[in-house]
Amino acid sequence: MCGRYSLSTPRDVLTDLFELEEAAPIEVRYNIAPTQEAAVVRSRDGRRRLEALRWGLVPSWADDPSIGGRLINARSETAAERPSFAESFRERRCLVPADGFYEWEGGPGRARQPYWIRRVDGAPFAMAGLWDRWASGASVLESFSILTTEANERLADLHDRMPVLLPPDVWERWLAADPAAPEELVPLLGPCPPGDLELVPVSDYVNRVGNEGRRCIERMEPVQPSLFG
């Protein structure tokens, strides 16, 4: 799954990387959490834009927007069939820029050790996302969910799921405005190569949603021996 991530990459770097036509101001964040606003890349009329949406997808038909807190992730294997995500999977796809995501190692008798998981080259990346628009009277809420897949060999001992990291050569297809059949898109949504990722042990400072800043990603020695050395 993906329940917390970071995006501290400068906006001008994101503009070049994603070939953006427009980029809304974004705040440097090291501890993005569900129900908070975060940056996504969408394509409208062939123009890519960086925009802020709320994390936790609220389907257009929902009675209560609080459902979004339970829909922060969508399983890539079943999203095209689930009522909450099916229409967005066909018609409203986005990229979720990040430079790292968090996962926790733990078990019986062990303290939970957080890891910041990033590319080995330190470059930002794109997670596959879906978005939707919910409206009630004058209130309009645009929100998104991050697609997950089975964990690769590097992460499997940490968690059985991981976010889908899309390579640049499929971004255009993923963002295409035309409706797409699941069989065209599902093959794009597997785990990334294990050698692409580095696991950085960090302190439990990141555990608290309200904590922010570079302290969240500072490397530290695990309190207990780790599966990851």
pTM assigned to the model? 0.95
**Stretch 54-60: mean pLDDT:** 98
pLDDT 10s digits, 146-157: 999 999 999 999
> Would you give the DSSP letter of residue 177?
S
The token duo for 88 is: 């967005």
pLDDT at 219 over 80: yes
Catalytic residue (choose from 2, 94, 192, 216): 2
| Contact (Cβ atoms closer than 8 angstroms) between residue 126 and residue 171 | yes
Residue 30's pLDDT is what? 98
Among residues 51, 94, 103, 105, which one is catalytic? Answer: 103
Which CATH number is 5-217 given? 3.90.1680.10
pLDDT score at 228: 54
Residue 73 near residue 154 (C-beta atoms within 8 A) = no
**pLDDT value at residue 137:** 87
- For residue 221, with 0-12 CB atoms within 10 Å meaning exposed, 13-18 middle and 19 or more buried, which class applies? exposed
Pairing of strands 165-166, 161-163: unpaired
Tens digit of pLDDT for each residue in 60-82?
A: 999 999 999 999 999 999 999 99
Q: Cβ(175)–Cβ(18) under 8 Å?
A: no
Confidence label for 46 from pLDDT (cuts 50, 70 and 90)? confident
Does residue 216 carry a catalytic annotation? no
Please tell me the predicted confidence (pLDDT) of residue 110.
63
Domain boundaries, the chain: 5-217
Confidence of residue 177 (pLDDT cuts 50, 70, 90): confident
Residue 178 has pLDDT above 70, yes or no: yes
User: What b/e readout covers 46-84, taking b as 16+ CB neighbours within 10 angstroms?
Assistant: eebbbbebbbbbbbeebeebebbeebbbbbbeebbeeeb
Residue 1 is encoded by which pair of tokens? Answer: 């799954």
Helix (H) or strand (E) holding 199: strand 197-201
* pLDDT over threshold 70, residue 107: no
